[in-house]
Amino acid sequence: MIRINSYRVGVGIILLNEEKKVFVGKRIDIKSDAWQMPQGGIIKNEKLEDAAYRELYEETGIKKAKIIFKSKKWFQYKIPIPLKKKLWKGRYLGQRQKWFVMKFYGNKKKDINLNVSKAEFSDWKWVHLNKLVDLIVPFKKKMYQEIIKEFELRINNFS
């Protein structure tokens, strides 16, 4: 049973390329210049890792990626009141997510396809980790700062 005014449980993905740049997609449903990393909800009885791979594929078409780190804690954000009625039929305050760092080992021309499922992104690019917070919608900035704080050292030391 889904409780009204709870947090939707989900996953998020920090996808790194060979230069340790992060994949971001431009939101198709927001008129402003809003970018985000792939993320989404967990299906009932789905393992977190399976949800991360599924969400990555549904939003980016990417299958050639491997999990290298998983967050120690859960991160959450609240959605603004005006968006609450539009998202998830108003059932949730926001999302509570477990985050994964994945390494992309595909070809960016052949292995990235934003139209595999219902498109959520209109464009994509690779950005430096320290530029992420500047691109994100305001209501997710604090969570992104916390995610970066947890993973930054591990990402920088990853070879």
pLDDT per residue as tens, the chain (159 positions): 455 568 999 999 999 999 999 999 998 877 678 899 999 999 999 999 999 999 999 999 999 999 999 999 999 999 887 777 777 777 888 999 999 999 999 998 899 999 888 888 999 999 999 999 999 988 899 999 999 999 999 998 887
Asked, for residue 105, whether it belongs to a domain, the answer is: yes
Partnered with residue 14 across adjacent β-strands are: 101
Q: What are phi and psi of 24, to 5 degrees?
A: -130, 145
Contact (Cβ atoms closer than 8 angstroms) between residue 58 and residue 40: yes
The Cα–Cα gap between 77 and 144 comes to: 9
Domains in the chain: how many in total? 1
Q: Residue 134 is which amino acid? A: D
Residue 1 forms part of a structural domain: no
pLDDT confidence of residue 80: 85
* Residue 32 domain flag: yes
Query: Which neighbouring-strand residues pair with 96?
Result: 9, 76
Q: pTM for the whole thing?
A: 0.91
What CATH number is given to the structural domain containing 68? 3.90.79.10
Q: How far is CA 89 from CA 2, 8, 65, in A?
A: 12, 12, 32
What residues make up the domain containing 39? 6-157
The answer to whether position 104 is within a domain reads yes
Residue 69 lies in a domain: yes
